[in-house]
């Protein structure tokens, strides 16, 4: 026993910021951002918190899955950009939904959606849960240095949620960690201990773009190949590839390397930028609501990012 997805939801803050808007503040251009990253606009919080976005996406997923809050057995949320270390975003969502089930956050940066599904699968296998809400929610705009043009043009804010119910549709999975802070690091605040001696690092995203890019392409291709093999299917049997939306060139590179027909790779990075843990569930919600995923379709999900971490899975819809 694992699970099936019975509902999806997503929410982004209303303010849409175009590349031309950004070019008013920093030395960049629409042309550079579209060519090098594939983003045309992103949504940015003005008053909303990561928990606000998560709550809105959660409500929509429950509605879409025709499920009452009282039937939830667990809420799992992932974020690297929540306002509070405690309470966790999942706990804020639990309170605001009026749920009584346990709630916890998982930190696996941009790979977290896959890590959350794998965690949920364990609870289903042990028959501890019947309904689980899984949410990725990010206010990346809070943790970006807005004067760093190699970072602030990439990311966006948003949340995506899926509602899981008992089923046998989670077919294969793989998680990887290659620990280290040299390539991607998001430092927390340093505190004010008069005894602490380490150098203060700005609490923003620090990323070596090209190294991350290489890691991302290799990890995504290796992970997808392995989960396809573990599922006992052929690449041609994959109906939808739903990759983490970090850079359109990463997705294009994977298309060339994998033997999956290229039209089956989905992307919405041009409208949202990289929303880290939220990017896959936002894209799933869009495809679901557009009626583009049919019953029994095979989905390959793949993500990569800070940790360094990566993961992939095969799901039947």
CB of 305 to ligand UT7, least distance (A): 4
26 DSSP 8-state letter: S
The catalytic position among 110, 152, 221, 313 is 110
176 touches ligand UT7 by CB under 6 A: no
List helix spans (H) across 8-160: 19-23, 30-36, 50-64, 89-97, 112-125, 149-152
**What is the spatial distance between Cα 246 and Cα 212, in angstroms, rounded to a whole number?**
10
176 counts as catalytic: no
Candidate list 246, 258, 278, 298; residue touching ligand UT7; CB under 6 A: 246
Note whether 251 binds ligand UT7 by CB under 6 A. no
Backbone phi, psi, residue 51, to 5°: -65, -35
Name the one range near ligand UT7 by CB under 6 A: 30-38, 45-53, 121-129, 232-240.
Answer: 30-38
Q: Is the dihedral of CA 271, 84, 26, 306 positive or negative?
A: negative
Q: Provide the minimum distance between the beta carbon of 141 and ligand UT7 in the complex, in angstroms, as a whole number.
A: 15
Answer yes or no: 266 catalytic.
no
Instruction: Quote the Cα angle for 202-207-208, to 5°.
Output: 135
**Under rule CB under 6 A, residue 221 binds ligand UT7:** no
Closest CB to ligand UT7: residue number: 209
Tell me which of 64, 67, 81, 212 binds ligand UT7, using CB under 6 A: 212
Q: Is 149 in the site for ligand UT7 (CB under 6 A)?
A: yes
Size of the site for ligand UT7 (CB under 6 A): 21
Q: With binding defined as CB under 6 A, does residue 154 bind ligand UT7?
A: yes
Stretch that binds ligand UT7, among 9-17, 33-41, 123-131, 135-143 (CB under 6 A): 33-41
Task: Return d(Cα 93, Cα 75) in angstroms, integer.
Answer: 8
Interface residue with ligand UT7 among 94, 169, 247, 310 (CB under 6 A) is 247
Q: Is residue 110 involved in binding ligand UT7 (CB under 6 A)?
A: yes
Identify the CA nearest to 220 among candidates 185, 244, 249: 244
Q: Cα separation of 239 and 137, whole Å? A: 26
82 and 51 Cβ atoms separated by less than 8 Å: yes
What is the DSSP-derived secondary structure letter of residue 74?
A: E
Choosing from 169, 247, 274, 288, the catalytic residue is 274
Does 37 bind ligand UT7 (CB under 6 A)? Our answer is yes
CB atoms within 10 A of CB 141: 22
Q: Which is nearer to ligand UT7, 49 or 275 (CB)?
A: 275
Nearest to 136, CA basis, from 149, 120, 152: 120
Torsion on CA atoms 61, 117, 260, 249, rounded to nearest 10:
80
Catalytic annotation, residues: 110, 244, 274
| Positions in the binding site for ligand UT7 (CB under 6 A) | 28, 32-33, 36-37, 110, 149-150, 153-154, 209-210, 212-213, 216, 246-247, 250, 274, 276, 305
């Amino acid at each position: 026993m694992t699970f099936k997805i019975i509902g999806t939801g997503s929410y982004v803050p209303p303010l849409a910021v175009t590349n031309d808007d950004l070019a008013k503040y920093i030395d960049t251009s629409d042309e550079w951002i579209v060519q090098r990253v594939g983003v045309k606009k992103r949504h940015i919080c003005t008053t909303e918190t990561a928990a606000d976005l998560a709550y809105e996406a959660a409500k929509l997923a429950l509605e879409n899955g025709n499920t009452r809050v009282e039937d939830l057995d667990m809420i799992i949320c992932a974020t690297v950009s929540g306002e509070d270390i405690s309470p966790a975003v999942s706990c804020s969502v639990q309170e605001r939904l009026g749920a009584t089930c346990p709630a916890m956050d998982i930190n696996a940066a941009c790979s977290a959606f896959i890590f959350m599904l794998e965690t949920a699968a364990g609870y289903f296998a042990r028959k501890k849960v019947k309904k689980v809400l899984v949410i990725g929610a990010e206010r990346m705009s809070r943790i970006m240095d807005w004067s760093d043009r190699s970072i602030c043009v990439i990311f966006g804010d948003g949340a995506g949620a899926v509602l899981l119910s008992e089923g046998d549709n989670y077919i294969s999975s793989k998680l990887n960690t290659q620990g280290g802070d040299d390539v991607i690091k998001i430092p927390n605040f340093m505190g004010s201990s008069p005894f602490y001696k380490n150098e203060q690092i700005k609490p923003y995203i620090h990323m070596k773009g090209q190294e991350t890019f290489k890691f991302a392409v290799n990890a995504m291709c290796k992970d997808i190949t392995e989960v396809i093999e573990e599922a006992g299917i052929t690449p041609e049997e994959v109906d939808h590839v739903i990759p983490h939306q970090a850079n359109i060139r990463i997705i294009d590179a994977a298309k060339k390397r994998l033997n999956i027909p290229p039209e089956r790779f989905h992307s919405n990075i041009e409208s949202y930028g990289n929303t880290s843990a939220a990017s896959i569930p936002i894209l799933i919600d869009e495809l679901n609501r557009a009626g583009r995923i049919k019953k029994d379709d095979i989905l390959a999900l793949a993500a990569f990012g800070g940790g360094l971490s990566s993961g992939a899975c095969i799901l039947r819809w």
